[in-house]
Structure 1
Amino acid sequence: MTVPTPPDGQQPVDRTPDDHNPWRPPPPGTPPAPWATYPTAPIPAPQSRNGMGITALVLGIVGVVLGLLIILFWLSWLPALLAMIFGFVGLSQARNGRATNKGMALAGVILGGAGLLAAAGGAVLTITAVKTVADGARAKVKEVKSSASAAEKARHLSFGESYTFENGLKVTVAEPKPYTPDDFVLGHAKGNKAVQVTVKVVNTGTARVEVETGLPEVSDAEGASAELLIDGSGRQKVITGYVLPGKEAVGKYAFSLPPDAADRIEVEFSPDAMRWKDAYWSGPTH
């Protein structure tokens, strides 16, 4: 903006107040304004991260306790493994200055290792015990089978041998002899071969024993049941009633055999078929 020139050649007077001139230097002797100071808040110290060490210690204790319980050892490996993991993390934080419970973290690692060892030991003991029990059971089964096989074998005899039943009756079947029936005969077809089977029963016990089944069963060489022969000769005798201690009873029976299957027979007999398994006598016929 142009300032008009005053008359008489006078210079224009600057009437701008001093306090409105930002570029005017300060008057001499005036000190500069001091910088303003502001209060500063204290910087908080970093918090310690002790959770990993505490967790490792607790899990380590749980792992060791479960490992010492035989029935719960299989549960101890998980807390023990976690204790070692958290313990190593806690040790790392302690080395970096972010945790102050290095001892807890180290204890968690140690207890975790102990828990894993306890779990492994429990597993070994359990496997060993199970194997021992299984081996014992197999041996027992084998023994029972062997005993049953021996008992079964003992019940198969040759003619002339004896077998003693559990009631004390000792039974012997003699070698069959040829038998000639009389004219009046039942159960004997023409052309068949007749044989006589003699069964002797001796009471070896101290009390009388009843013979419940006095009739033997006879099979021919082909395994077919032979037919009981009955005639009027009176030579046949059926064992019935009681046998006193030290006494014997003898039964005589005649059977009819087909001529093509009469060379060998098997006699099956038990003094009480409802209680005792049959014994078997076999051999050739003459």
Structure 2
Amino acid sequence: MSHDTQLPHPQMPAPAAMRNGLGTAALILGIIGTLSGLIPLFFWLAGILGVIALILGLVGTGRVKRGEANNKGVAVTGTILGLASLVLSVVGAVITFTAVSDAVDEIDKSLKDTATTAPATPGGGSKGKTDQGKGQDKTKALAADETAAYDDGLEVTVTAPKAFTPDEFAVGHTEGNKAYKVTVTIENKGKKAFDTAGTLPNARAGKDGADAEMILGEKLDVAFEGSVLPGKKVTKTFAFDAPADAKVLTVEIEPGMGLAHDAAQWDLKIG
């Protein structure tokens, strides 16, 4: 009597679960990043999400190639949207920074327009003063010891030039030319401290109006520095090299590099 022996059938291994999470995340972040990139002000968010979406999309695509995921279209789309987010981020940054730069330029221009230098006629031989923004004649330069006064209380005065002989260590003096010293005073009669950084005089002399080189030497200044508090003043001495036949030394000063004050000019008699 025979008996049929039935052998147990081997069980097939369960299929591995698909790892589609990274591709899906890349798609979601790519969509949000792209939408953020359409608003220039959110360029920073688009850039961050774009980088993450691009990385996740590339990793998700790699899983598809290895058979660990089956959402190739989702992963590829997420990668593309991540790249698009980065492009929009760069464009948004350019637009934003350009707009900010233009706004700053407009503010600087408006500040300059509030203060325009104009000379006043000296009275009784005393020091003259020109108030900016009051509509006086701006086509004439100031004379020695006259003051350029600005609406915010800042006042700049240049004295008459004095001839001197530079020492042997001085720089900027040409043999045959004449050297002159002028004293510049900045007085702050306003209510806020004034930063003098970048304030330095420029000069021209001679028939052709050529630049008069600044002379550097002992006890001579190069530029203003530091702040002038309300009610205080600062005085500096500068020297310039002028042709021997020059009759006028024109000195120009732009307080604070012209950020809020226009330049003023003084025609100083020499020779």
Please classify the TM superposition score into its range, dividing by the shorter chain length.
0.3 to 0.5
Q: TM-score, normalised by structure 2?
A: 0.47
Q: TM-score, normalised by structure 1?
A: 0.44
Q: Say which one has the larger Rg.
A: 1
Greater fraction of residues in helix: 1
